[in-house]
Every structure is written in C-alpha cells, then in structure tokens.
Structure 1
Amino acid sequence: MELVVSYAGGRKVDATFNGFTVCTDQPKKDGGDETAPEPFQYFLASIGTCAGYYVLDFCLERKIPAEGIQLILRTERNEEIRMTSKITIEIQLPGFFPEKYKKAVVRAAELCSVKKHIQRAPEFETYVTVQGE
C-alpha cells in the first residue's frame, strides 16, 4: 500500500490513498483551525471501527441484528510520559442479544488487525529523497 501525505495550509495535513483523502488538523490552541480530527484521533477511530467491523461480521455470520450495538472506546493517559497508557472498548449490546454469544463477541472484537499491529509493532523506516534527483 502507498499513502501520500501532503500539506493543505495552516496546520492541516492530508493523506491520500486508494482514491480517498483523509484530512487532519490541529486544535486552535496548537495553531490549527479545528476543521478536522487530529491524526491521533484517527488512530483511535481506526481501532474502534476495526473492532466494530469484527463485531458486525460476527453478528452477520450468526444472523443477529446489529442495530443498537455500539462500541465505546475510552483512553487513559499517562501524563508523565504524555502517552495513552490504556485503551478500553466497551461493547454495548441491546437486550435481545443472545447471552450465549456475549463472550464470543468480545473475542471477535479482539481480532481487530489494527490492534494486532500495535501489539506486534512493525518496523519503521524513515528516509529522505530529493525531488528531481
């Protein structure tokens, strides 16, 4: 996969891939205009939506209606190191959800490939090229 990052003025940074553009911005307190989420918010959203996909797929496979199911992602921050120290995902199920599948739906959410990439971090490599050379 290739993803191209470009600057859109101010503190805005966009990423374009597969025909989509994801726009980011920074809060006003950091010099941004708050016109889009911050990159870290997209990171958290990718975890939540990935887990949500696996929950949805679990329900579809078993013909369980997904209406009314919500995932709530919460973070805890370690101020000493200025990083998120814990991510919790609460799966809110409607009353009709079968009791026998409650533990299994948690296991389904834990299949999230985004989460797995965090737990088994890929190698990162950053380097410079000069355009036109």
Structure 2
Amino acid sequence: MSVTVNTLPNSPFRHTIEIDGKHSLFTDLPVKLGGEGSAPDPHDYFDSALGACKALTVTLYARQHEIPLTGITVAIERDGSQERAGKYGLNVTLTLKGPLSDEQRTLLHRIADRCPVHKLMTSTEVTIATHLADAEASQ
C-alpha cells in the first residue's frame, strides 16, 4: 500500500493524497493556520480513520454473526487542547440502529473498541522513518 501526497499549484497548503493510485483525496489547513480550509486537515483524517474503522468493524461483525444491525453512526468529538503536552482525546459516541437486544448492543459496543485502528492508536508502537529523495528526483 502506498500513499503519495503532492502540493497543488496556486494554493498555499492544499495537497492531493493518492492512495495506491486508486483513490484521490485532498487535504488543506484551516484558514486560521493560513490554509483555505478547502479540505480536511490531517487531524480530521486521523479522527475519521477511527470512526470509519469502528463503523466497518461493527457492521462486519454484526453481519457475520447475524445480528440485526441496520446501520451505525459513529460521532467523534476531538479534544486536541493538550496535544502539545502529549494528550489527544477522542470521545466516540456509537448509535446502533436496528432491533437489537441489550446484550447485542453491549457486544457491538465492545467490538467497536477492537477495530484495528483503535488498537493501532492505543496499543501499538509505531515507527516512522523519513528519508529525503535524491536531489535529482526533486527537480
């Protein structure tokens, strides 16, 4: 899997994001940081990854176990006020739709916290190695 981010011309911070050459997204900074606010910023994508993963994990689990889930809404509220101090808070509210018993609701709530992105964000050591491309490739 590869992700490539490229600057767009004539825009101070707007970039394209290409994922495996199959999907195109955009990113920008908020106006208060000098961007145009024309697309989600990287924090928005980080938070969205968690919400999407929880929704897909719960939906897949419900279908595999014939739980009558008819839909899910995952609402995420970010508290980034202490990010520079090493704390980043995400408050997640799940709305499970369908004729679910209390037991099924409790089970799906537990399953939501087992999504791969939740695990990645909370219990995995992530290493990042950043390298410069050859100067010739930069021209």
TM range (shorter): 0.7 to 0.9
Superposed, 1:5-84 pairs within 5 Å as 5-9=5-9, 10=11, 11-18=13-20, 19-79=22-82, 81=84
TM-score normalised by the chain length of structure 2: 0.81
Provide closer, same or farther for how the CA distance between residues 80 and 104 of structure 1 changes in structure 2, counting only shifts above 3 A: closer
Size of the alignment, in residue pairs?
A: 133
Stretches of structure 2 lacking an aligned partner (at least 5 in a row)? none
**How far off is 1:98 after superposition?**
1.6
Name the structure 2 match of 1:100. 103
The aligned counterpart of 1:4 is 4
Whole-Å Cα distance in 1 between the matches of residues 86 and 8 of structure 2? 27
Q: Which runs of 5+ in 1 are unaligned?
A: none
Residue number in structure 1 paired with 2:90? 87
Q: 1:22 offset after TM fit, Å?
A: 1.5
Equivalent pair of 1:76/1:87 in contact (CA under 8 Å): yes
Q: Cα RMSD (Å) of the superposition?
A: 2.2
Q: Decide which structure has greater helix share.
A: 2
